[in-house]
Structure 1
Amino acid sequence: MNRKLELYYDKPALRWEETLPVGNGSLGAMIWGGVREELLGLNEESLWSGYERDKNNPGASHSLNAVRELVFAGRCAEAEKLIQDTMLGEFNESYMPLGNLHIAYRNLKESDQVGRYRRSLDIEKAMAAVSFEADGVGYRREIFATYPGQAVIICLESDRPLMELEIFLESQLKCCIREMEDALIFSGRCPEHVDPSYVRKGEEAVIWGYRGRRFSGGIRVLSCDGTVLCQEGTLRVAGASELVLCLEAVRPSSIEGSYDRIKEEHVLDYGRIFDTVELYLGEQKDLPTDRRLEQLKEGEEDNGLFALYFQYGRYLMAASSRKGSLPANLQGIWSWKFQAPWSCNWTTNINLEMNYWPALSCGLKECMEPYFSFVEELAKRGRQTAAVNYHCRGTAHHHNADGWYSTNPVGIPFGAEDGKEGCAAYAMWPMGMAWLSQEFYRYYEYTKDRKFLENRAYPLLRDTALFLVDWLVEYEGYYVTCPSTSPENKYYDKDKNRCSITAASAMDMELTKEVFEHYLSVCAKLGVNDDLTDTVQERLARLWPVRIGSRGQILEWLEEYPEVEPGHRHLSHLYGMFPAELWEGDQKMTEACRISLNDRLENGGGYTGWSCAWIINMFAALKDGENAWKYLYILLTRSTYPNLWDAHEPFQIDGNFGGTTGIANMLATDRGGHVDILPALPRQFASGYVRGLCLKGNKTVDIRWEDGSAVSVEFHDADEPDLDSK
């Protein structure tokens, strides 16, 4: 029997999407596993282009009333142009790769016979390893990122003292390296600005200057049984059978003691998080992971691979989001391009939120602290955005954020005077905080941490509700959002113009309803009753209702417009079904959601990894196990790279987290005050067990099932909450 949770391969990585990631929340490394040269792609979460700047736009408030008048007059294309010309701010900055660490084996020649190669990632211990034989001599490497020690540790061994190594760092950043007796110390700075790759590319996209963020770190020898010499920016090792290196960046490392002690401390720390949930769907095949994926595509059964994928998502969360770090971005913490896809930022119209979907249900609540701290900082900046751009109280955030906590609507290229054509579809969406704040409420639902509710959830929900109260305007006897978009989607107006601007998009109204309901719920629990609660109750009673169209579908916009892309990747108008619970028990809205989802899929929807993951969760919420399975299978066979990363493509980590959540929601859900056991179990997962899935009320559940039916269900009280409640 093989139940070891491990990704492994019988050859080195040939492209970045085959490398193996390790991380401690802030420091990450990608392991290529070469024989004659190991290459580690390095990232540190705080390395962003840019510097502290105010990107809010006072001119936006001057245009707001005119935009609203145009929308209500049915002249939405004109409203959209006015927004792009006058209401946006500059694009976000970009996440920068730290560099590449090279470890060259000078004693190994091209003519050496190499065999018994193995490259692996043990996700039960968060340890990567490489082993092989060259001319009959065994070589081994172990690599891990320790959270207690705040460093990447690299152990290199050989059967005989033959290792002759050259170790050096290269970086695309401005970086200087100086030598010490047994260490290389590096320091440098990031550019003042880097454009997103979809705005400008190459040298014209980069401005260096002297105001970019500075960084420093080092590569030092912890132990070596050979000789070590540092010269010309290179560590040279000779006559060694064992070498242990420590790489640190930005944060000082607290590494001390033997390698075995450092490793043991790391495994214990990681296991405290990872070991809380166990899933068994079948044995783990003793085959390289890429071959297992190929066999799955060919129709072979491999339920163990789905369990491995589930746990890999949990591993990635623990590796990219720990207390004291920034939250996981579009690529977690792993990025190798100077102009990463979408700047590797935090996109908040689905992607950042999806990153944290598994945190509560899958035993990872400790990993939410970076999310909460980040959103709270965004909320501080968002108060200025709300006031300057819209003359509103409270806090507002749009669809992008970066390492400088930008909250403005993006769209103006650096140095330009107006917005990029078409960008209102994604930029003019001041509902970011409405979505981000909901995880604060859900955290309380799961943990019942009253101090968290009072000190962290309530202030954020109050500021969010305050903004929405001011943002809403009256239209035909109802309150609506205006201008409004359905994130990144477009429709045809009566003149066949492609438009994104409207009033009262379904998602806007669903988010507003959820914020208001949750705010009032918190106020009731805390005994708050003031002018704002009265106003919120009045607005809630008169919110524009989400409407059903001629085909029984949910109307995405104010009117029933023809869609530019009927199979669009976003399911924004279905937010009320999942992740929200607005339509639990409402058969009419549930059926409308099902029709709308099928409309998307019949027109080619779900073609990105994260969109496919959202679909899995949507079908789980609809208790449709066979379709949940269908899209889980599609996710692994069409939208997964050889290293099990999600393929948008390119790589985006949200699909991994969404996929993990989808599997959990097929097995147990806690929605609308009701716990469902095996609500969407597909026939392919006929038998299995899960231990430790989390439910609301600080509970966990263990389930064992056979032939599609539960044979054992046990509920347990969970541990006390472990986040800062302030």
Structure 2
Amino acid sequence: MRQTALLFLALLISLAAAAQQPLTLWYSKPAEKWTDALPLGNGRLGAMVFGGVGQERLQFNETTLWTGRPRPYARPGAAQYLPQIRQLLAQGKQAEAEALAAAHFMGLRDHEDGYEPLKAAWLQKIKAVSAPQALAANGWQPISIPTPNGWEVAGLDGLDGAVWFRASFELPAAWAGKDLTLSLGRIRDQDRTYVNGQLIGSDEGISKKRRYQLPAAALKAGRNEVLIQVINYYDKGGLIGVKELQPVFVAYPEGADPATGVALSPAWQYWVQDREPPLTPTYQAAYQPFGDLLLDFAPVEQPASYRRELDLRQALSRTQYQQNGVAFTRASFASYPRNALVYRLQANEKGRISFKARFDSPHQQRRTYRVDDHTLALAVQVRDGVLRGVSYLRVEAKKGKVTVTDQQIQVDGADEATLYLTAATNFEDYQHVGADPEKRAAAFMRSVSGQSFDKLLKEHLRDYQPLFNTYSIDLGQGPHDKLPTDERIRAFDPLADASLPALYQQYGRYLLIASSRQGGQPANLQGLWNESLTPSWGSKYTTNINLQMNYWPAEVLGLSACTAPLFGLINEAAEAGKITAKEHYNAGGWVLHHNTDLWRGTAPINASNHGIWVTGAAWLTQPVWEHYQFTRDKEFLRREYPIMKQASQFFLDFLIKDERTGWLISTPSNSPEHGGLVAGPTMDHQIIRELFRTTSAAAQVLGVDADLRQQLTDKARQLAPNQVGQYGQLQEWLEDKDDPRDNHRHVSHLWGVFPGTDINWQTPDLMQAAIRSLDQRGDEGTGWSLAWKLNLWARFGNGDRALGILKKLLSPAETGTGSERGGVYRNLFDAHPPFQIDGNFGGAAGMAEMMLQSHAGYLHLLPALPGTWSLFGEVRGLRARGGFVVNMRWQAGKLTGVEIKSEAGRPCEVRYGDKKLTLNTKPGKTYKLNGELQPL
């Protein structure tokens, strides 16, 4: 009885607290780095708000500012090599197949023609500078070494070229006459290393660990000078250390333990020799930052009562603090209706708002200029490409004085000030760049300037809240609820902080609304936000899971409207992909490999061992069918059906019969980023089977293409089936060659479980084999990999295992080690690492899968409820296939009630545990059931 009473009391307390709980990320100090800052976005214009007191920084992006240009991506005539590549793979000659494909089958690179002579001439010029000449140069500056993510993080953002570094070490007297080893770890990309003016080594490649022999004759007693010329052609550069336990940046006797070595002096310096190498050939473009809005304030005492926050209910950032008894408040939001960022500064005393506002940008080609008495402009041009942008900043002040020059806007003694920021580029679409960014930015500014902050905020909320408020979740409360968000992350335990996962899921929904709206581009690898000219993986659209994962939560969490930019990309990629299908495979339809960009490149990129993967287009038809399944929007399906049909047509032409088994297989391809170029990876066949099934189903809904439906059904039966291997695992490849000790981050062969439906509990042997495979891969992983595993364990019905993965997703990324560990940064951004937004979206979707599943043709309620969520829970607004909206409550681990609204009037089968009920629903009607699935 006592335990029951305590449970009831805890439930009452939890319900009372839940009614008051704000959906807010908050912190007790300003952001120290980018992944501490808080994101705002309207699907086109995004900003990271740092909340500084002496200086505020808003780093901003516009979704169409990329490198590159409209150009051909497919390699003409590549298809003539397809039979040879297939034959080599059939003969087991993987290395030969990869070499042939690398030479003749990869897509075209920008700047490919004529690059080598330009590179040779540039290298000759920069290598003509000797070590003594470099030492004598002016302009040496201090720098911290190593720079793990390249010298860009040390203030050299966007630098490609030649940079010299210098340090020193003291030679112990006992080492006189001995040869030493100098350990420098990894270097991006090429180095020429000198000691006391003598060249002692040179190498190239990020994967090579630099350990150079120092002959005794090159050394001297006391101080020895180390000088390194680093040559970097593209992307990041610098001395980046090494991922191993052995010390780096040390000198030690040849053959001795490196731990006994002497460290190089920490007082490193650098000198930029040349920052204009010829533009490096690149397969695809990179998403770019636009600039920074900086607000400089006069130095004053340290603030008191500091708080910065992001209110998810209002999509509003606030910063509050006190100085000298004056309370200051700043608030900002990104307006979708006005295409602008709006930022207000207030104080509780008149005349206390004074600051200087200015632009900065990492682009070398940039300038600022005065537009009028209240407006400053920033113009930028990307170094590698045709795109340029213009941003307008306007300040309206109550009282006080506003002064505008070509460099800044100064506000003195105002009662209040409101800033309006707009930005635009010359991008029109993936084939045209003739727009006028100045006119666009000015037009956006005319729309927003003169409008009060309060009026614009009300308009913003009328736009935003109907999207965000379609869903709510309450998992109860805990003792950590009142902590700042960064402290909650560090201390996270599901028992002590049940509401942090709920906040995390709602944050995922917020990020999708902020980064994907009608009229904009889809969410990329970093959503909408990026501060680097050389973002990891170009911050592109990676289509072998990452882009698709970005949209996993859209339908189930009530954000169907946010999928419009994705469908825009799919349609444009389908047009471009027809050319690639013809040139590379002599096939009809369309194909997309593992990446695309703003210019909709669809050809294979990077390297043949992972870049030749043919099912990107097929996977991207899945969200088309899912959108129809959730919305029952027949006109949408009619409009998008050709995309599905053409993706199917490609595989009707592409698939060939395997001589050994007689099955139809996909070749050449790969199991994404794992195992190299192969014939017949399991994932391909799962995706193609699903494509054929859903295309046939769509044709049936629309009453078209009866002959095609039969053809797809016949071909699907001939595809290589899922197979169980020698360890009881689901095979990743056609051959039984899985390694049970393999913990690779991709679990591609489990696609048929999630997000696909190829494997389900109607095939229990395959489900058990899939469970065995996932078990063997382990529970660690990068951020997006953890998110995929979370969804898989939910599909398997293992709520406690899923919650364990969610806990890892919510672990602090800053304390992690190694490249294969995910987690979150202080602002709850997902860590690949570094930041990738797909883990946020995949994690949000995974929590939904734990509470409701509808992929098997019925509504499965609470299929993977973990024990620590069992005390109390309520979710409202979950969406299910068939056009249903589901509200649920549970207590003590048991369902207590459910409401199901039918939007399409379709039959609805409901299951909970061993209970089943079928409802013949009517459009618009809500059906209420108790925990036994009995109608109320």
Corresponding letter in the other structure for 1:43:
N
**Matched residue type, 2:65:** L
| CA distance 1:171–1:223, shift in 2 (3 Å) | same
Q: Is the 8 A contact 2:54 2:297 kept in 1?
A: yes
Q: Take 1:81 and 1:556, find their aligned partners in 2: how far apart are those partners?
A: 23
Counterparts of residues 198-217 of structure 1 (less than 5 Å)? 212-217=386-391
- TM-score for the superposition, normalised by structure 2: 0.71
CA distance in 1, matches of 2:289, 2:86: 42
- Give 1:192 shift: 2.4
1:118 alignment counterpart: 307
Contact 1:606–1:615 (8 Å) recurs in 2: no
Show CA shifts across 1:693-716 (max 9, x none): 001121100000000111011101
Offset, 1:563: 4.5
Cα distance in 2 for residues equivalent to 1:530 and 1:117: 66
Q: Secondary structure at 2:285's aligned position in 1?
A: coil
1:265 to 441, 450, 459: 459
- What is the aligned counterpart of 2:875 among 681, 690, 693? 690
CA RMSD, aligned part only?
1.6
2:900 aligned with 1:711, yes or no? no
Higher relative contact order (CA 8 A, sep 6+): 1
> What CA deviation, in whole Å up to 9, does each residue of 1:557-603 have, x standing for no partner?
121225498101111100000001112221011111101100111xx
Q: 1:434 corresponds to which residue?
A: 618
CA-CA distance at 1:548 after TM superposition = 1.0
Partner of 1:485: helix, strand, or coil?
strand
Matched, 1:578 2:767: no
The yes-or-no answer on 1:44 pairing with 2:44 is no
1:294 Cα deviation after fit: 1.6
Q: 2:780 aligns with which of 600, 606, 624?
A: 606
Q: Which amino acid in structure 2 is aligned with residue 543 of structure 1? A: L
Using the size of structure 1 for normalisation, the TM-score is 0.91
CA contact (8 A) 1:105 1:163 kept: no
Q: Percent identity, aligned pairs only?
A: 37
> Which residue identity lines up with residue 454 of structure 2 in the other structure?
D
Q: Report if the CA contact (8 A) 1:140-1:158 is conserved.
A: yes
Counterpart contact for 1:144–1:153, Cα < 8 Å: yes
- Offset from partner CA, 1:492-522 (integer Å, 9 cap, x none): xxxxxxxx11111000000110000111111
2-structure distance, mates of 1:561, 1:583: 21
Query: For residue 724 of structure 1, what is the aligned residue in structure 2?
Result: none
Kept in 2: contact 1:466–1:532 (CA 8 A): no
**Could you tell me which residue of structure 2 aligns to residue 629 of structure 1?**
803
Between the aligned partners of 1:282 and 1:534, the Cα distance in structure 2 is 51
Is 1:145 the counterpart of 2:334 in the alignment?
yes
Distance in 1 of aligned mates of 2:722 and 2:861: 30
Q: Per-residue CA shift, 1:4-42, capped at 9, x if unaligned? A: 000000000111111000000010000111111100111
CA distance in 2, matches of 1:167, 1:647: 32
Q: How far did 1:134 drift?
A: 1.1
What does 1:398-413 align with in structure 2 at a 5 Å threshold? 398-411=593-606
The whole-number CA distance in structure 1 between the counterparts of 2:336 and 2:789 is: 34
May I ask how many residue pairs the two structures share in their alignment? 674
Matched with 1:319 is 514
SS of equivalent residue, structure 2 residue 580:
helix
User: Is 1:177 the counterpart of 2:368 in the alignment?
Assistant: yes
The answer (yes or no) to whether the contact 1:396–1:432 under 8 Å persists in 2 is: yes
Report SS of the residue matched to 2:854. Answer: strand
Retained in 1: the 8 A contact 2:397–2:415?
Answer: no
Give the aligned partner of residue 590 of structure 1: 767
Question: Which consecutive residues of structure 2, in runs of 5 or more, have no partner in the other structure?
Answer: 1-16, 110-282, 425-439, 813-822, 906-936
Q: Could you report, residue by residue, the CA deviation over 1:414-472 in whole angstroms, capped at 9, with x for unpaired residues?
A: xxxxxxxxx2232101210010111100111111111111111x111100000011110
Q: Which residue of 2 aligns with 1:130?
A: 319
- Distance of 1:140 and 1:77 partners within structure 2: 62
Moved over 4 A (4+): 562-565
- Post-superposition Cα deviations, 1:397-426, rounded to whole Å, max 9, x if no partner, equal 011111111111112xxxxxxxxxxx2232
Work out the CA distance in 2 between the residues paired with 1:684 and 1:302: 10
User: CA separation in 2, counterparts of 1:3 and 1:266?
Assistant: 22
Q: Residue 126 and residue 578 in structure 1: after superposition, are their counterparts in 2 closer, same or farther (change >3 A)?
A: same
Correspondence list, 1:279-428, <5 A: 279-283=473-477, 285-296=481-492, 301-411=496-606, 423-428=607-612
Counterpart Cα distance in 2 of 1:626 and 1:439:
28
Contact 1:438 1:515 in 2 (8 A): yes
Q: Aligned to 1:29, which of 47, 53, 62?
A: 47
CA distance in 1 between partners of 2:601 and 2:397 (Å):
43
The one-letter code of the counterpart of 1:102 is L
Whichever residue aligns with residue 188 of structure 1, its letter is V
CA distance in 1, matches of 2:768, 2:512: 34
**Contact 1:50 1:191 (8 Å CA) reproduced:** no
**Unaligned segments of structure 1, at least 5 residues:** 194-211, 412-422, 491-499, 721-726
Cα distance, 1:293 vs structure 2 = 1.2
The answer to whether structure 1 residue 105 and structure 2 residue 297 are counterparts is: yes
- Say if 1:489 and 1:565, in contact at 8 Å, map to a contact too: no
Which of 665, 668, 672 is the equivalent residue of 2:856? 672
Pairing 1:460–2:643 present: yes
The SS at the match of 1:637 is coil
Give 3-state SS (helix, strand or coil) of 1:35's partner.
coil
Residue 196 (structure 1) aligns with: none
- Quick one: structure 1 residues 219 and 314, their matched pair in 2 at CA, closer, same or farther if it must change by over 3 Å? same
Deviation at residue 241 of structure 1 after TM alignment? 2.1
Question: C-alpha distance in 2, partners of 1:30/1:486?
Answer: 36
CA distance in 2, matches of 1:226, 1:643: 35
For 1:569 and 1:223, the matched residues in 2 are separated by 52
- Of 524-533 and 619-628, the range deviating more from structure 2: 524-533
| Shift in Å, 1:535 | 2.9
Select the structure of larger CA radius of gyration: 2
Contact kept? 1:63, 1:87, Cα under 8 Å: yes
